[in-house]
Amino acid sequence: MDVNGIVKLDFFINADSDENIFQGAQEVLSVIRPQWQTIDIMYKMLSDGITNKLVRCKVKDGADHEAVLIRIYGNNTDMLIDRMAEKRNIKMLNQFDMAPTLYATFKNGLAYEFVPGCTLMSKTVSQPEVYPLVARQLAKLHKLKVNGKDSASLEPVLWTRFDKFMKLMPDQFTNEHINKKFLNMKLSKSQILDEIDTLKSHLVHLNSPTVFCHNDLLLGNVIFTKMANNNDDKVTFIDFEYADFNYQAFDIGNHFAEFAGVDNVDYDFYPSKELQYSWLRVYAEEFNSPDGAEVSDAMLDTLYVQANQFALASHLTWGIWALIQAEHSDIDFDFIGYSSIRLTEYFRRKDAFLSLELPNES
């Protein structure tokens, strides 16, 4: 157990079958929940994750808030994710009550607090009782002073992450069916590199500040908890695998792009200009507090342009990510199809978004 009270377990969980996952989960629980009787424990595989395998563990007739969530890392995801940094991030965010409590780590996963509630969906993320909670929570995350670091002086992770992803992206795929699908996309590695360079030439001039970002705020990573008093409703962000210092507008634009969902992607759900401005006003009011700086029209116009142009970076990021996953992941998900959807949306929106202009400084 470390100084934060987190148990470190020296074993792997075999994720080849649900039975093996449940058996491994029981080993974890025997250490962190020794009072639970094995015969009373109920396991439920969750379907929200497309990177990892998730199992909720609770005792029969136990309260949801007493449950434990065990996450087993996906195959070869260490190529994409710095697991040590992820654990540091969760421990740090626990101190600010910004992430579920981490109970234990093992060689290929984590055990942490299960947050009762519902993950967001495309039809709920835009509801007026939901989106302001997300906007405020993201602003609070962006305001954090992490380890005393001046985020303004730090290099955003976006470009180094692109470099890393492009080095991992396969030139061709082992699976012949997947390789054929990739060839049908008619998009080469060199073309993607050109798009990254083009995008960078635009985005670096937007002057979006560097803040501590979640970087993966898809709908499944936001838990909405309904309380008896509606004024106490809350959202909780989970899965900080990709959290790091990055452009503020990337986190916002990425979240807007995720309104479309993952399993059945529909970009008709991409937030309208009106909804974006309402969302951005709530965000800016929280981000500027407690200084009380007035949220001006120019400030909202700037955030609007920045968020939509950085949404293009989101499409490229996850389009490339999905190509890597298509080669290495053992999760049952159409990664090559998802990559095609994200990259197609990038090209569909590219000209319109890059034509947006920042307000004149006057």
Q: What is the CATH number of the domain that holds 149?
A: 3.90.1200.10
Give me 72's structure tokens: 């087993």
Structural domain containing residue 16: 7-113
127 and 108 within one domain: no
| Angle made by CA atoms 14, 36, 68, in degrees to the nearest 5 | 55
Q: What is the 3-state secondary structure (H, E, C) of 134-191?
A: HHHHHHHHHHCCHHHCCHHHCCCCHHHHHHHHHHHCCCCCCCHHHHHHHHHHCCCHHH
Backbone φ and ψ for 93, nearest 5 degrees, come out as -70, -30
How many domains does the chain divide into?
Answer: 2
Boundary-marking domain end, from 113, 129, 145: 113
360 within a domain of the structure (yes/no): no
Boundary-marking domain end, from 47, 82, 113: 113
- For residue 204, what are the CA distances in angstroms to 132, 152, 349? 28, 14, 19
167 and 47 within one domain: no
pLDDT of residue 347: 98
In the sheet with 118-119, reading across from the earlier edge strand, the strands are 118-119, 222-225, 234-237
The residue with tokens 């989970």 is 238
Nearest-angstrom CA–CA distance, 85 and 125: 29
- Letter string b/e over residues 315-345, b meaning 16 or more CB atoms within 10 A of that residue's CB: bbbbbbbbbbbbbbbebebebbebbbbbbeb
User: CB–CB of 187/194 below 8 Å?
Assistant: no
128 and 101 within one domain: no
Q: What is the sign of the dihedral through the CA atoms of 152, 289, 86 and 202?
A: negative
User: What string of pLDDT tens digits covers the 362 residues of the chain?
Assistant: 665 688 999 999 998 899 999 999 999 999 999 999 999 999 999 876 677 889 999 999 888 889 999 999 987 778 888 888 888 888 889 889 999 999 999 999 999 999 999 999 999 999 999 999 999 999 999 999 876 666 777 899 999 999 999 999 999 999 999 999 999 999 999 999 999 999 999 999 999 999 999 999 999 999 999 887 878 899 999 999 999 999 999 999 999 999 999 989 999 999 999 999 999 999 999 999 877 678 999 999 999 999 999 999 999 999 999 999 999 988 889 999 999 999 999 999 999 999 999 998 64
Nearest-angstrom CA–CA distance, 70 and 223: 16
Give me 195's structure tokens: 């798009």
User: CB–CB of 137/235 below 8 Å?
Assistant: yes
183 within a domain of the structure (yes/no): yes
Boundary-marking domain end, from 113, 137, 166: 113
362 within a domain of the structure (yes/no): no
Nearest-angstrom CA–CA distance, 181 and 184: 5
pLDDT of residue 150: 67
220 and 82 within one domain: no
Give me 358's structure tokens: 């920042």
Nearest-angstrom CA–CA distance, 198 and 178: 28
pLDDT of residue 362: 47
16 and 103 within one domain: yes
Q: Where are the beta strands (DSSP E) in 39-159?
A: 41-46, 53-59, 68-72, 102-106, 109-113, 118-119
Nearest-angstrom CA–CA distance, 238 and 118: 12
The residue with tokens 């405020």 is 136
What would the DSSP string read from start to end of 220-259?
A: GGEEEE--SSGGG-EEEE---TT-EEEEHHHHHHHHHHGG
